[in-house]
Amino acid sequence: MKLIDSLETRGIRLTAQRRILVEAIDNSAEHLDAAALLERARERDPRINRATVYRTLDMLKRQGLIDELDLMHLNGEKHYYEPRNRRNHAHLACLECGRIEEYSSETYELLKQEIRERSGFTTDVVRLEVGGRCRACSERKHG
């Protein structure tokens, strides 16, 4: 389900600007940071301001509808965002070429369940990030 629909379901009204921002997140293939999101949204309404971006992201976070990623700080301290509805997945970041790959599996689900059972913590937000070298970069080095 798209963010826009989740918000609708919850009866949350969006202003025109916020709608543009939410749709930009929904329709993006890659992970966007605040600046990229602003840039993209401005294609549809150039008046949109940075502060509005952050305030909209804040609203989505408080609704638990988006996840905030660091992607191993590969590009500084900025945060990246993605809708939470996809199956929760790890992010593998290649420290050499910067490629980001997503990873999910039964074992990952199992681990989360195990954490809940053994620690008593709820797992509201789970962030698994791996920094390493992707296969292509490894082979390029060895070859």
Partner DNA sequence: CTTCCTGCAAACCTTTTGCATGCCT
Partner DNA sequence: AGGCATGCAAAAGGTTTGCAGGAAG
Residue 58 site contact among DNA, a copy of itself, none (CB < 5 to 8 Å, cut-off depends on kind): DNA
Intra-chain end-to-end CA distance of the chain, in Å: 44
- The correct pick among 68, 85, 88, 89 for binding a copy of itself (CB under 8 A) is 68
Cβ neighbour number for residue 58 with a 10 Å cutoff: 10
Question: Does residue 35 belong to the site contacting DNA (CB under 7 A)?
Answer: yes
Question: How many binding residues for a copy of itself (CB under 8 A)?
Answer: 38
Question: Does residue 17 belong to the site contacting DNA (CB under 7 A)?
Answer: yes
Question: By three-state DSSP, how is residue 88 classified?
Answer: coil
Q: Which is nearest to 35 in space by CA: 24, 72, 14?
A: 24
Nearer to a copy of itself, 15 or 135 (CB): 135
State the burial class of residue 3 (Cβ atoms within 10 Å of its Cβ: 0-12, 13-18, 19+).
buried
> Which residues sit at the interface with a copy of itself, rule CB under 8 A?
68, 70, 72-73, 77, 90, 92, 94-95, 101, 103, 105, 107-108, 110-112, 114-115, 118-135, 138
